[in-house]
Structure 1
């Protein structure tokens, strides 16, 4: 009888864990980076980083299709580590940041794609144009963060886009139309008092 009780308790705990509620995380801009790379006349493959990322990730382990991503990337956070090149990338030749100061991504569909893998489709809005983009995503880790002492999540993702699809075609094809995107994200459940009003 005791064995049955213990087994029943264990099954109840396992069942509760298996049907955990979806968790929403705020992106930590200090540990998040969006990196773009492209070919420059075939001689080199420059990169640019996009920091100051803001957004929310909701992950539902039991119903992955209910998961979602919403991200804003200000072009003020663009960094190539060369000031003149930063200015050129923000100019009307490329991003035209004065007119279009932000890039946004909002998921439209999320699917499981194997062990710790997701496929995330969403609307990428860039340079005044919105196109569907697929992010091939890896779940790095889910658990309590040792520093924040709150639930946290880490993801890496990759995508390939054509900049001409967004009206950014200066110097193509010598400067490649195809751009490789690599994303690493760390996010954490908000503090309990986040958003509280006095």
Structure 2
């Protein structure tokens, strides 16, 4: 189950990011942990699809709507915050058999390429690092909105993203295949520019 590794998420992160050189209108957004959710889901013996969430996700997004392919993102997900709704399972997920949070407290995602697939949809390619393993991951991203935040009065942006990872590639393979190797990760996040 831990496979969900949700880690991603995500989750978004899902990410602390590189700058966009040469793009004057690019804005740098800090992801808001209070409005960022990373949710992982997996198959349990084919009978159910449990979920687990991660909190405290932080990161940075650099984005220019006129040149989205120049965007970059970097996210950090604190694995110790994993919450499956089952305290005993949460504890199991944190041990060496699963995430080994004592040695690998965070999962990270760092983008290396962005491809626009529609007016507000993107494939964000990058590297997910978890439990000491780094693997390529592609996030399917939809931009929900971009503009001045009505409460904070600063430039803001919001995205949803999904991806599926194989947990065994990250050294988390307990109970595969009865508990699925594939883990679906769903991320939703908001970011705001500095005032």
TM-score, scaled to structure 2: 0.86
Paired residue for 1:115? 119
Q: Given the alignment of the two structures, is residue 71 of structure 1 paired with residue 93 of structure 2, yes or no?
A: no
1:127 matches 2:131: yes
CA shift digits 1:46-67 (9 cap, x unpaired)? 1000110010011111222210
Q: Which has the higher contact order (CA 8 A, sep 6+)?
A: 2
Instruction: After TM superposition, list the pairs within 5 Å mapping 1:109-188 onto structure 2.
Output: 109-188=113-192
How big is each residue's C-alpha offset from its partner over 1:27-80, in whole Å with a ceiling of 9 and x where there is no partner? 000010111000011111110001100100111112222100000001122111
**Structure 2 CA distance for aligned equivalents of residues 80 and 38 of structure 1:** 11
1:8 is matched with none
| Count of matched residue pairs | 173
**Gap regions ≥5 residues in structure 2:** 1-22
In 1, Cα distance between equivalents of 2:41 and 2:97: 17
Flag the structure with higher helix content. 1
Structure 1 residues not aligned, in runs of 5+:
1-18, 192-198
Q: Which residue of 2 aligns with 1:29?
A: 33
Q: Hey, what's the Cα distance between the residues in 1 that align with 2:163 and 2:92?
A: 24
CA distance in 2, matches of 1:22, 1:31: 22
Cα drift, residue 157 of structure 1: 0.3
**Is 1:82 paired with 2:86?**
yes
- Give the TM-score normalised by structure 1: 0.85
Match of 2:55 in 1: 51
Match of 2:144, SS state, is strand
Task: Find out whether 1:91 has 2:95 as its counterpart.
Answer: yes
* Cα distance between partner residues in 1 of 2:159 and 2:81: 20
Question: For 2:90, what is the secondary structure of its paired residue?
Answer: helix
- Over the residues paired in the alignment, what is the CA RMSD in angstroms? 1.2
Asked whether the equivalents of residues 20 and 61 of structure 1 are also in contact (C-alpha less than 8 Å), the reply is no
Between Structure 1 and Structure 2, whose CA radius of gyration is higher? 1
